[in-house]
Amino acid sequence: MMADTGVAALRNALETERAALRRELNELGALDGTGALDYDANFADSSQVNAERGETGALVAKLRSGLDDVELALAKLDGTATPAYGICERCGQPIAEARLEAMPTARRCVTCSAAG
């Protein structure tokens, strides 16, 4: 189990990243009125998509995926998602604290990440 101060720092980092991702998505018009992700806005799949719009779609997809990872990590910290935060989703072993500090959204330990 990580020290409370470590957990607080990671939560802080995740919340900061979530706010930044939401702000970017909002600027791209990818959030609905409630601030939630608008998954009905099919930027990338539209048949009328032009090059610029396609680029936006790719960016939105990337930001959404990043936001999903952040939300999942926060849910794990809150105990509303499994496995618990800092536990590898593949092997169930604790993820090294240094790895979590470098990448707070890490879902796998170094070994499993390298194994693909």
Residues that bind Zn ion (CB under 5 A): 88, 90-91, 109, 112
Is the CB of residue 109 less than 8 Å from the CB of residue 96?
Answer: yes
Instruction: Provide the minimum distance between the beta carbon of 95 and Zn ion in the complex, in angstroms, as a whole number.
Output: 7
- C-alpha to C-alpha distance for 22 and 91, rounded to whole angstroms: 31
Structure tokens at 96: 């090294």
Which residue in the block uniquely carries the two structure tokens 């590898």? 88
Measured from the CB atom, the residue of 77 and 109 that comes closer to Zn ion is 109
Measured from the CB atom, the residue of 67 and 109 that comes closer to Zn ion is 109
Measured from the CB atom, the residue of 31 and 106 that comes closer to Zn ion is 106
Measured from the CB atom, the residue of 11 and 99 that comes closer to Zn ion is 99
Structure tokens at 111: 């070994």
Instruction: Provide the minimum distance between the beta carbon of 33 and Zn ion in the complex, in angstroms, as a whole number.
Output: 40
Instruction: Provide the minimum distance between the beta carbon of 10 and Zn ion in the complex, in angstroms, as a whole number.
Output: 18
Instruction: Provide the minimum distance between the beta carbon of 89 and Zn ion in the complex, in angstroms, as a whole number.
Output: 8
Query: CB atoms < 10 A from the CB of 70, how many?
Result: 22
Please list, in sequence order, all residues whose beta carbon lies within 8 angstroms of the beta carbon of residue 18, skipping any fewer than 6 positions away: 67, 70, 71, 74
